[in-house]
Amino acid sequence: TGVTLAEADEVRRALGHKDGHPEVQAWFMPIALKRGYSVPDAERIWEVLAAFGSFGFCKAHAAAFALPTYQSAWLKAHHTAAFVAGVLTHDPGMYPKRLILDDARNFGIPVLGLDVNISDGVYRVERVDVGQGHMGSSWVAPDWLPAEMPDPTRYGIRLSLADVKGINDAEVAGIVAGRPYASLSDFFCRAGASRPIVERLIVAGGFDSLYRLGQASPVRRRGTVNRRDLLLQTKELDQWVRGAKSATGTLTPRGRRRSAESSGTQLIFDFPVSGDQELAGSAGGLPEMTDAERVSAELEVLGLDASRHVVDFYAPLFRALGMVRAKDLLGARSKSEVLVAGVKVATQTPPVRSGRRVVFVTLDDGTGCADATFFEDAQGAYATTVFHSWLLVIRGEVRRTGPRGISLRATGAWELPTLYEAWNSEGIDAVADLMAQTPEFSEQALHGAADSRSARPVMARPVLVHPTGFRMSPYSDLKPPGEDTKTAPRKLWHASPGSSGH
């Protein structure tokens, strides 16, 4: 037709409405004939355009998604570790990185911890030995995996420095450029990283390989160091490095020793270098971090539970309550009542034609994801818990939507740490009592922030009553979609625009 792109877009929009077809046809036919097309050709072209107006966008949209979907499926099947490493680096889509990493573990891919001498600004794939790295404990090659397919357990994924909380590109580049490092003090004076970044690297395991730190043990060998010992030295190292640089301008191994002696700093964690006498000294005697403390540090620093899944610590309670794991949900009978638990992956509150609010929640328990739906009749008592807690127990009725389609119609939600504490201190009867009570809004305000990575209590929202007597849900969206720019975004779950689960 020879029209501009802007005019063509207006016509395309008009084609999307059935009432606009006659108007567009009356505009199109004279222009087509004027440009030399015959009447039969113009009519055939119009038939194509009219059909496009009805379903063309859907077809084009489906085709645009189908190609990368098939490509991604092939890459995940044949080069699983490389594919997941790429997804973790570029972070597309709505799913949080910790869920993608857990999916890799379930495929048998070892997760290799942070290492200041190996980790880069992106996720890397490395060949691994048997037993190296953290991998799903229950992974078994599925029957449908052809024998000629690559073994995913031969390659591990190395965590990236870029995910360390607060680190910038210059610090990542400085760490990579200064490698290899012989000790914590060597790293402190040459890497160019700030003290808070060094402390976060320590608690997240970035120096474990350098100091040969293993898993937590009830018996500690005399003279060995741990993460707490290393962390204890950061303040002294910071003061010493500042003084040494101002005095000498350089920090060679011998210079570091002389500066330490003059300032009274004992570098008990320096490795000896050629020509130097090994330092006398011993570890500080601090207890090693427990597994739970390690995972908590990983979540705080990286936003990932890398060494093990966070819900693993609640396994005894799962067994006591008869929880159904995500991988076993397909075996549950339709309309049966079950309990599921896990880390909140996403909350979504899409617009509904009826105007009623529906909340969709996805939980990850280490074996897969479970989906639950909260309709308005179940939201009043549990919405605060759902939106503002990240470790949840959900009760619901099984709903089947196909051979492999399954979800829960939720009837209750509780904070997993709260139930675990009650079970640990008072037994299973105390847990049953808690779950039998329907919480009021005031109780939600007190318990809404329990162990949710926030020190602030989550206050229940006021119920707005209109002059007509209509009571508005306290969880209605009264603000524009999006997050407050003053609030740091959460990294552990996704919340759809307009959702209260920021």
Torsion, Cα 86 89 90 92, to 10 degrees, reads: 80
Q: 481: burial class by Cβ within 10 Å (0-12, 13-18, 19+)?
A: exposed
**Domain 310-495 listed as CATH 2.40.50.140:** yes
> In this structure, which amino acid lies at residue 193?
A
Distance CA 248, CA 246 (A): 6
Q: Which of 255, 277, 257, 273 is nearest to 265 (CA)?
A: 257
Q: What is the pLDDT of residues 227-263, one digit of tens each?
A: 999 998 888 888 877 776 665 555 555 555 555 555 4
Mean pLDDT on 142-151: 59
How many CA atoms, within 13 angstroms, populate the side-chain half-sphere of residue 347?
24
pLDDT of the residue at 271 = 43
Mean per-residue pLDDT over the chain, rounded: 78
Mean pLDDT on 164-187: 94
- In this prediction, residue 464 has a pLDDT band, given cuts at 50, 70 and 90, of low
Q: What is the pLDDT of residues 286-302, one digit of tens each?
A: 888 899 999 999 999 99
- In this prediction, residue 466 has a pLDDT band, given cuts at 50, 70 and 90, of low
Q: What is the pLDDT of residues 13-25, one digit of tens each?
A: 888 777 788 888 8
Coil, helix or strand for 167?
A: coil
Q: Are 213 and 223 in contact (CB under 8 A)?
A: no
pLDDT of the residue at 223 = 59
Q: Which of 442, 446, 380 is nearest to 413 (CA)?
A: 380
Q: Are 309 and 378 in contact (CB under 8 A)?
A: no
Give me the residue label for tokens 């990983």: 298
pLDDT of the residue at 124 = 95
Question: Please, which residues have CB within 8 angstroms of residue 379's CB and are 6 or more apart in sequence?
Answer: 357, 359, 386, 473, 475
Strand partners, 343: 364, 391
Distance CA 236, CA 482 (A): 43
Q: In this predicted model, which residue has the larger pLDDT, 129 or 105?
A: 105
- In this prediction, residue 269 has a pLDDT band, given cuts at 50, 70 and 90, of very low
- In this prediction, residue 187 has a pLDDT band, given cuts at 50, 70 and 90, of very high
Question: Please, which residues have CB within 8 angstroms of residue 336's CB and are 6 or more apart in sequence?
Answer: 397, 398
Among 159-163, 199-203, 460-464, name the one with the lowest average pLDDT.
Answer: 460-464
Q: What is the pLDDT of residues 375-425, one digit of tens each?
A: 988 888 888 889 888 899 999 999 988 888 899 999 999 999 999 999 999
pLDDT of the residue at 87 = 94
Q: In this predicted model, which residue has the larger pLDDT, 493 or 131?
A: 493
- In this prediction, residue 338 has a pLDDT band, given cuts at 50, 70 and 90, of very high
For the chain, where do the domains classified as CATH 2.40.50.140 start and end?
310-495
Q: The pTM is what?
A: 0.71
Q: What is the pLDDT of residues 357-389, one digit of tens each?
A: 889 999 999 999 999 999 988 888 888 889 888
- In this prediction, residue 472 has a pLDDT band, given cuts at 50, 70 and 90, of low
Rounded to 10 deg, the angle between the 21-34 and 39-51 helix axes is: 140
Check whether 77 has a pLDDT greater than 80. Answer: yes
Q: Are 363 and 394 in contact (CB under 8 A)?
A: yes
Q: Are 108 and 141 in contact (CB under 8 A)?
A: yes
Mean pLDDT on 44-59: 76
Q: Are 194 and 174 in contact (CB under 8 A)?
A: no
pLDDT of the residue at 261 = 52
Coil, helix or strand for 337?
A: strand
Distance CA 74, CA 174 (A): 36
Q: What is the pLDDT of residues 33-49, one digit of tens each?
A: 988 899 999 999 888 88
Check whether 164 has a pLDDT greater than 70. Answer: yes
Strand partners, 315: none
Write the secondary structure of 371-414 as one string of H (helix), E (strand) and C (coil).
EEEECHHHHHHHHHHHHHCCEEEEEEEEEECCCCCEEEEEEEEE
pLDDT of the residue at 282 = 43
